[in-house]
Structure 1
Amino acid sequence: MSYKSIVLNLDIDGVAAPVIKLAVDLARRFDARLIGLSAADVPPPVVMEGGVAFEGESLMRQRKNIERRLESLRAEFEGLAGAAVDTEWRGAVGNPTRLLIGASRVGDLIVTAPPYGGSPGNAHRSTDIGNVILQAGRPVLVASANEENFRIDKVLVGWKDTREAKRALTDAMPLLQLAQEVRVVTIDNDATDETWNSLDDVVASLSFHGVKAKAEVLPENSDGRTIADVAEAMHADLVISGAYGHSRFREWIFGGATRSLLQNDRLNRIMSN
């Protein structure tokens, strides 16, 4: 297995150069086609009491501003990536989350920077990364903030014996095969023989793919240690984890471990559902 098509999501309001360079680095390693994508939408007219306040000139001006920014991002993308790897550009006026989920059809991997400003913003101009992870059916690599080169020496796998974690291991196998050190970690104060048997099976499965790994069970500490904390302590270059969440009233509700990984912009994280 390898990544032969990578979809790079560019936030229309974010700093593009670092994540473009990181994605180019990845595409080179796997001889993959790199598809740059950026989108933003014009908000619908505000509904006022007694009717709709139609502001046609304002809406057209917003659309033109989006189109100009998309052209600027296209030029930056092609300037940084065009001579290095095979590329394609997709820029559109439309909902950025929906368009990225749709574009996942053509990719083996989605790469994106953290949300601009560190948290989800305007749904018309910012991708809902959690929504993408749960709906795209592809692994999503959320890059650390402003990192331009993708190191892959130390990898931490956050393991739970669940469908999501198994899916994440399979999805991340091309990256695991490049790593020098792989730790498969479960955080559990009451590890049983079943816990250890699960970890041993994962290590054995990885070895069949040429990946040398070691398993560990770490207890929670008084501060509620998370996989993100362990990853920072070991200076991990990449964290691999299943993403756990469900839909409620059209909002994605995540468990604490998934939420802490999504909110930590100091880590490269690859997440699957």
Structure 2
Amino acid sequence: MSYKTIIVNLAVDADPDPTVKLSAAMAARFEAQLIGFAAADIPPLVATEKGFVYEGGVMETRRRELEKRLATLRNTFERLVPASIASRWMQCVHTPTHALVAAARSADLIVTANGRGDDPFRMLDVGSLVLGAGRPVLLAADNAEHLSGKTILVAWKDGREARRAVTDALPFLTRAGQVVVATMAGEPGADIRASLADILLFLKAHDVSARTEVLLGEPGGHQLVEFAHMIGADVIVSGCYGHSRLREWAFGGITRTLMSEGGITRILSN
């Protein structure tokens, strides 16, 4: 298994260079086609002293500014991606999350950086992307230009999401020097040991040598991230939203912690 097509999302309000360099290096590693992607939209309402109104002139000005920014991102992408890598560009004036979910049907892997801000017309909602794209999402560490993937931590909880994440991450796992499968539990019972043994057998069948760890105590995302740093992992592989998404966001949740952790690259699946 390998990634044949990678799509990289460039946020309109962020520096694109690190994400482009990171994704280009991955495309070279996997001999994959690289698709550069950027999208944003113009809010249909404009605030004035009289309230919110439709203002065609203002919207047209904003559209021209947006198209100019998209052209700049395209130039950056084409400048930074080596000619040896097969590549193409996609852009649209649309909300980024909806546009990228649609574009993801043509790719094996989505690469994006952590978003900053909450403007749905300009910022990607990573949670909605993971839920809707049907593709693994590689959420790059802040300003990361390279990804070695030498040590990978798999966050294991026996369920559909974690099983999907392990399968989706196989191209990275087969190239890693060390893979650690860790689960969090108050008590390491027989069912936990059995599920860990089975996932090791699955990985071995795909030529991945791995070891397991049981992290005792109350499960939490911060504990997982601390353990990743302790073993020197530069990638965390995790399934997302093992509970309902409403519960995850209301009570914190491991998913929410991983999405907000910018110090390490994460591969997220649902």
TM range (shorter): over 0.9
Kindly tell me: are residues 195 and 32 of structure 1, through their superposed partners in 2, closer, same or farther at Cα, counting changes over 3 Å?
Answer: same
Kindly tell me: are residues 202 and 124 of structure 1, through their superposed partners in 2, closer, same or farther at Cα, counting changes over 3 Å?
Answer: same
Alpha-carbon distance between aligned partners in 1 of 2:221 and 2:240, rounded to the nearest angstrom? 19
The answer as to 2:25 corresponding to 1:25 is yes
User: Which one is further off, 167-176 or 39-48?
Assistant: 39-48
Which residue pairs with 1:110 in the alignment?
110
- Residue 160 of structure 2 aligns to which amino acid in structure 1? R
* Structure 1 segment 164-243 matched on structure 2, within 5 A: 164-220=161-217, 225-243=222-240
Kindly tell me: are residues 238 and 254 of structure 1, through their superposed partners in 2, closer, same or farther at Cα, counting changes over 3 Å?
Answer: farther
- Residue 237 of structure 2 aligns to which amino acid in structure 1? I
* Structure 1 segment 137-148 matched on structure 2, within 5 A: 137-148=134-145
* Structure 1 segment 127-166 matched on structure 2, within 5 A: 127-166=124-163
Residue 234 of structure 1 and its aligned partner are, at CA, apart by: 1.7
User: Which one is further off, 231-240 or 58-67?
Assistant: 231-240
- Residue 101 of structure 1 aligns to which amino acid in structure 2? V
Gaps in structure 2 of 5+ consecutive residues: none
Alpha-carbon distance between aligned partners in 2 of 1:222 and 1:214, rounded to the nearest angstrom? 20
Residue 83 of structure 1 and its aligned partner are, at CA, apart by: 1.6
Residue 51 of structure 1 and its aligned partner are, at CA, apart by: 9.0
* Structure 1 segment 43-82 matched on structure 2, within 5 A: 43-46=43-46, 53-82=53-82
Residue 40 of structure 1 and its aligned partner are, at CA, apart by: 0.6
Alpha-carbon distance between aligned partners in 1 of 2:256 and 2:147, rounded to the nearest angstrom? 23
Contact 1:226–1:260 (8 Å) recurs in 2? no
SS of match in other structure, 2:141: coil
- Residue 231 of structure 1 aligns to which amino acid in structure 2? A
TM-score, L = length of structure 1: 0.92
Alpha-carbon distance between aligned partners in 1 of 2:4 and 2:67, rounded to the nearest angstrom? 29
Gaps in structure 1 of 5+ consecutive residues: none
Alpha-carbon distance between aligned partners in 1 of 2:29 and 2:73, rounded to the nearest angstrom? 24
SS of match in other structure, 1:226: helix
User: Which one is further off, 69-78 or 212-221?
Assistant: 212-221
Residue 164 of structure 1 and its aligned partner are, at CA, apart by: 0.1
The answer as to 2:126 corresponding to 1:125 is no
Residue 220 of structure 1 and its aligned partner are, at CA, apart by: 2.3
TM-score, L = length of structure 2: 0.93
- RMSD in angstroms over aligned alpha carbons? 2.2
